[in-house]
Amino acid sequence: MYFNKIPPAVNFIRQASNDQAAQRSSELTQLGGDVFRYRIESSQWEQKSQAQLNLDCFKDEQVRAQLSEHPHCGLWLDIDYMDAYKVFTVVKDGFENHRRRIKALQDNGRKIVPIIDPGVKYSEGYPTFDSGRESDVFCKTSDGHIYSGFVWPGRTAFPDYSQESAREWWAKQLEQYTTEYAFDGYWLDMNDPSTGSAELEDMRFNHAQDSHSCFHNQYAYGMQQASRKGLSAAIQQKRPFILSRSGFISSSRYSAIWTGDNWSNYFHLKASINMSLNLSLSGIPFNGPDVPGFEGDAPPQLAVDWFKAGFLFPFFRNHSAANTRQQEPWAFEDPYRQVIIHYIRLRYKLLPYLYHLFMEHAEHGDPILRPLFYEFSHNETRFDQLEDQFMVGPAIMQAPFVHEGENSRSILLPAGRWWDARSGRWLAKQSELNISADLESTPLFIRDGSIVSMLPGERKSQQSDLSDIECHIFISEDYQAPVTWTYRFDDGKTVDAPQSELRLQFKQDGESLVLTCLEHSLKNKTLKIRFVAHGKFNELHLQKSTQCTKLSLQPYLIRLTGSTITAQATAPITFKDPS
């Protein structure tokens, strides 16, 4: 990254007190412009191993996932799928009958996401290079020659994304490539830009008129803009998905960010929390690390700890380097394998909550991952330097074990009561809690007065219907204020899909809980909800207009983290718009 001195007049990002953190973060996000509508699959679990070089590799991947009954939706192709690392090509072996084979994977709920680098192999006769040179879209040196880097393909030219003509050219190349191979999204790498052994300063922009420092930090942003445009043109009304290694302020308009090539160790596990929280507060909410690390081998316990820490990160992907051990869930022995699979399933169970957070971010700018001071800033300074606890939205607090061999840890509890997902019990009011580590559970707490939407049952496939949910009610006997809950959903796939919305109010009345329907606009959809109470209520009453219905409660078993717990649940209730 290049740092330039900014005059005070344009220094619009100022140091904020904790009380202002939420407001400033939201302002920064809105300053960057409209955020793209997220695809439902982009909130799910995706995996890529070092062996996935062509379509042949995905057949075994799909079978293993089905046998182990764990959901995953994204299959990733690393750079070896290209012919001699040339962008917009594929290897000949392994892509025969690609349209039929890719469609078969997509029909099973999998999305195919290949890697794309900006570097274009400097080779006459290679159509992409010839087209770029003819269109005069490559970066140049001060003497007017095409700048050459030395990366995966060898000698390479780089599109000058500072030029609109270069962005248009790249978008057209990617549109044609997408149309040919029906890929679902793209993973933009090496766009820092990384040029190998070549001097970066020799790479100039705007037909060599501007120095490298003028556009270095924005280079990835230009690539994201162009890639998004090309993908959108190819897939039309489907929502695009772009992932990028580098970015700039307002990159969230076009792309998610992953935190680069990390290592399978506890240092990078802990650091991933800090990095993701900082990105979240900086207007880049859709981010996350490779789990359980990219370089090096992940021992079983480290893999478990990393999955526990990262299973609710906005971006959640397994990715490992060549010549490292396999680290898909089925590559580990039991009981580690079953623990990893459980947390993948738990992410899918919480998908309605996560997806709603993405929708809220697009509208208001609140990040998905939040430091504790974002939610609990008033007269609190003890959360200022807290690096191993974080909030997922306003309701869920995680406090994972992130140190090797750690047998216990201390957890700071904000004011109010918290529901312990390990035991299914409400904690007494306290400022600090010490807990012991075990293999199956992770410290996970729900804030009093929260309503958390989930998918029903245990999730063993990636199929997700946001119109059929559980509404988990976390209201203790101490919480007497009314709680308003808004649930919004759409098809999760198309750009202009109508959003359906239901708004309920929850209020304690003695030993009963009264649910009042304040508003609903379901766009001709049917919404089915099972209400699950985690409090001491004898009965629930649903108030719709002038009609009040008593909802009987029955014992309901659920496992979030640790042991199976017993809650109280209603039968599913159907909501529809009036005829």
B/e letters for 174-210, b = 16+ CB within 10 Å, e = fewer, are bbebbeebebbbbbbbbbbbbbeebeeebbbbeebee
CB within 8 Å of 234: residues ≥ 6 apart: 174, 175, 176, 178, 179
Q: What is the pLDDT of residue 10?
A: 31
Distance CA 409, CA 272 (A): 19
* Residue pair 252/279 in contact by the 8 Å Cβ criterion: no
A 10 A CB-CB count for 215 gives 22
Domains of the chain, start order: 369-446 (2.60.40.1180), 450-575 (2.60.40)
pTM listed for this prediction: 0.92
- What are phi and psi for residue 487, nearest 5 degrees? -115, 125
Whether omega before 127 lies within 30 degrees of 0, making that bond cis, reads no
Through-space distance between the first and last CA atoms of the chain, rounded to whole angstroms: 58
* Residue pair 540/570 in contact by the 8 Å Cβ criterion: yes
Longest dimension (CA), the chain: 81
Token pair in block for residue 245? 């290694």
E strand residue ranges, 51-193: 74-77, 111-116, 120-121, 149-151, 154-157, 186-188
Token pair in block for residue 246? 């580098």
Note the Cα 487 to chain centre separation in Å. 20
CB within 8 Å of 395: residues ≥ 6 apart: 353, 446, 447, 450, 451, 452, 474
Q: What is the pLDDT of residue 63?
A: 63
Q: What is the pLDDT of residue 51?
A: 44
- What are phi and psi for residue 340, nearest 5 degrees? -60, -45
- pLDDT tens track, the chain, 579 positions: 555 544 432 333 335 555 566 777 777 766 666 665 666 666 665 555 444 556 766 666 666 666 667 788 888 889 988 999 999 999 888 788 888 888 888 888 888 999 999 999 999 999 999 999 999 999 999 999 999 999 999 999 999 999 999 999 999 999 999 999 999 999 999 999 999 999 999 999 999 999 999 999 999 999 999 999 999 999 999 999 999 999 998 899 999 999 999 999 999 999 999 999 999 998 899 999 999 999 999 999 999 999 999 999 999 999 888 888 888 888 899 999 999 999 999 999 999 999 999 988 888 889 999 999 999 976 678 888 889 999 999 999 999 999 999 999 999 999 999 999 999 999 999 889 999 999 999 999 999 999 999 999 999 888 889 999 999 999 999 999 999 999 999 988 898 889 999 999 999 998 899 999 998 899 878 999 999 999 888 889 999 877 889 999 999 999 999 889 999 999 999 999 876
| 316 three-class SS | coil
B/e letters for 223-243, b = 16+ CB within 10 Å, e = fewer, are bbbbbbbbbbbbbeeebbbbb
Q: What is the pLDDT of residue 38?
A: 65
Q: What is the pLDDT of residue 8?
A: 36
**Measuring CA to CA, which residue among 458, 473, 471 is closest to residue 527?**
471
Q: What is the pLDDT of residue 496?
A: 87
Whether omega before 367 lies within 30 degrees of 0, making that bond cis, reads no
Q: Report angle CA 224, 225, 228 to the nearest 5 degrees.
A: 80
